[in-house]
Amino acid sequence: MSGCLLETHARVRPIVPTATVQITAPQPPVATVQVQVAQPQLAAGVTVVQTSCQQGAQEVCNGLDDNCNGQIDEGCGYSSGNIQITLAWATGADMDLYVTDPAGETLSYQHRQVASGGTLDQDARGQCNRNQANNTIENVYWNTPTPPPGNYRVVVHYWGECNSGAGPTQVTLSIAVGGQIIGAYNYVLAPEQRADVANFTI
Ligand SMILES: [Ca+2]
Ligand SMILES: [Ca+2]
Ligand SMILES: [Ca+2]
């Protein structure tokens, strides 16, 4: 019988006035669009870096989003955007980052801008230069209002050891889309190896 009473009450619904409110939450200055992106597909041997970021942490120029704001290495002199892909390593090697966009155009140190809006703004150790800033980081980004949809392919080439005796070298690759880190990965390359480390589709 109590069930009948409950049903009676449940049918009385007060009319609540509604209003549309825009809430402005603190956000990073870029990369806040909503996008669907599948988990990246990874080459055999690629390992996932477990998330270790902490809000408010000091951002270090290491290819990782240390402070969990969806931007990789902000403040290090290279850019974030609706897509950011950052490669970092910690030896005297020269690694090269290649990112092919959905139109099939490839960003690299040899081709720093693509028609879809992507830019490579941090190249490292060209000519084995040891004197540039952040000479173990390469970075590409798209700052278009929305990330161009389609498939992105991320390739890393171990160009050379630069007389450093670096040998097999681990790289860290972080990928951010729409202001969120979609993955951070480690992979070890041998000198002169070229590897399709990851690809993802927006
Ligand atoms: Ca960050
Ligand atoms: Ca960092
Ligand atoms: Ca390089």
Give the number of whichever ligand sits closest to the CA of residue 127: 3
CB 70 within 8 A of CB 123: no
CB 37 within 8 A of CB 182: yes
Q: What is the pLDDT of residues 36-87, one digit of tens each?
A: 888 899 999 999 998 789 999 999 999 999 999 999 999 999 999 999 999 9
Q: Give the Å distance between the CA of 17 and the centre of ligand 1.
A: 40
Q: Structure pTM?
A: 0.83
Q: How much is the pLDDT for 130?
A: 82
Instruction: Please identify which residue in the block is written with the tokens 């889309």.
Output: 177
Q: How far apart are CA 133 and CA 131, in angstroms?
A: 7
* 5 phi/psi in degrees, rounded to 5: -60, -45
> Who surrounds ion ligand 2 at CB < 5 A?
59-60, 62, 64, 66, 73
CA 37 distance to own-chain centroid:
12
Q: What is the pLDDT of residues 85-121, one digit of tens each?
A: 999 999 999 999 999 999 999 999 999 999 999 999 9
Q: Give the Å distance between the CA of 61 and the centre of ligand 1.
A: 10
Q: What is the pLDDT of residues 132-154, one digit of tens each?
A: 888 999 999 999 998 999 999 99
Q: Give the Å distance between the CA of 20 and the centre of ligand 1.
A: 32
Q: Calculate the alpha carbon distances from 121 to 81, 113, 192 in Å.
A: 12, 9, 23
